[in-house]
Amino acid sequence: MRNAMTIDVEDYFQVSAMAPYIPRSDWERIRCRAEDNVMRILSLLEEADVKATFFTLGWIAERHPGLVRAIVAGGHELASHGYGHERASDMSPVAFADDVRRAKALLEDLGGVAVQGYRAPSFSIGEGNQWAFDVLAEVGYRYSSSVYPIEHDHYGMPDSPRFAYLVRNGLIEVPVTTCRIGARNMPSSGGGYFRLLPYRLSRWLIRRVNEQEQQAAVFYFHPWEIDPDQPRVRGIDAKTRFRHYVNLGRTEARIRRLLGDFSWGRMDEIFLPH
């Protein structure tokens, strides 16, 4: 069973939970660390002979075009994370369309390849803004990976399908992976949960989805999650501090182990009809 390895290319200061503490107007003055971290990830993937999907923020791509070209040169899929890391649920349909269209055009121009996939920042497509699927199809995306079928204080649509499904207008939604335990969907696809949970549990959850449900898993992480030396943001609340910084020093080794424990590939090759 081949699973999808995905990376959400954004920097530590662009995380939605940091928005109350780092104004968007300050972004230009902060030294970006995403490029160096992505290059480390590309080396990890090359060592493991794994191809992945990079959901890349337009804001990052515009300032670091070499990063985009390196992703494409490595044989990975270049996909969109929108332009400015604004939550889809906070935008009007017109603003959302402008954002995802701008990101797609920019990435295609820099990478020289078609951009078919999109992931909303913070999995911010939910019950209240499913019009976003129509916009994505109209703009020309073929698939989205923007729904997390769990209950969470920042995102989640727990009653949505857990595996890839046709939304409408030909658009396919590929939710990140959950494991059904009793009456609840348990997060099984990376991010902060992967850093918090014991590695063996994360591995068991993915194997359960592969072996018992015969479904490919979708795993994700961010470049800043392999960067324990990133600057500490002052004044953040305890919950944000814990979620963002827990086990950063262990993540790269865990990712390396994960790459060896499962078979991995690109989203487009696994989920799109050819």
Which pLDDT belongs to residue 273?
86
The bridge status of strand 77-80 relative to strand 2-9 is unpaired
The DSSP call for residue 154 is S
One digit per residue, pLDDT tens: the chain, 274 residues?
Answer: 999 999 999 999 999 999 999 999 999 999 999 999 999 999 999 999 999 999 999 999 999 999 999 999 999 999 999 999 999 999 999 999 999 999 999 999 999 999 999 999 999 999 889 999 999 999 999 999 999 887 655 666 777 899 999 998 899 999 999 988 887 888 888 999 899 999 999 999 999 999 999 999 999 999 999 999 999 999 999 999 999 999 999 999 999 999 999 999 999 999 998 7
What global pTM score does this model have?
0.96
Contact 61, 108 (CB under 8 A): no
Domains and CATH numbers, the chain: 2-271 (3.20.20.370)
| C-alpha closest to that of 191 among 213, 206, 208, 176 | 176
Gap between the Cα atoms of 146 and 126, Å rounded = 9
Length of the chain, in residues: 274
Gap between the Cα atoms of 65 and 257, Å rounded = 30
The DSSP call for residue 186 is E
Contact 60, 10 (CB under 8 A): yes
